[in-house]
Structure 1
């Protein structure tokens, strides 16, 4: 499932980093914190690996 916007891709990357222990969970806020708590590492990898080129700045 590819990311649908740049902010979504960025939030997924932050959540994935925390899932892997590279950053602190307490550093997460907003969407990245929700993603960390509700998504698997594999789901986060799929979103975070989306190429940013061509993604809109806003979803919608």
Structure 2
């Protein structure tokens, strides 16, 4: 699923880096930590690779 906002994309990128071993899991906070636990590497890759153009900084729909 593609990211709905820039902040969601950044969180997915941080979680993906931890999944791949590039970052420490203990450094993750908030949404990126829950994404790390609940999503596969493939799902995180798809969300993190979403184009940023036209995306809001935060998703206003919750």
User: Which band: TM-score by shorter chain?
Assistant: over 0.9
Unaligned runs of at least 5 residues, structure 1: none
Shift of 1:49: 0.2
The residue that corresponds to 2:31 in the other structure is 31
The residue that corresponds to 2:13 in the other structure is 13
Measured on the aligned residues, the alpha-carbon RMSD in Å equals 0.5
Q: How many residue pairs were aligned?
A: 60
Unaligned runs of at least 5 residues, structure 2: none
Structure 1 stretches of 4+ moved >2 Å: none
Q: Structure 1: how far apart are the matches of 2:24 and 2:57?
A: 26
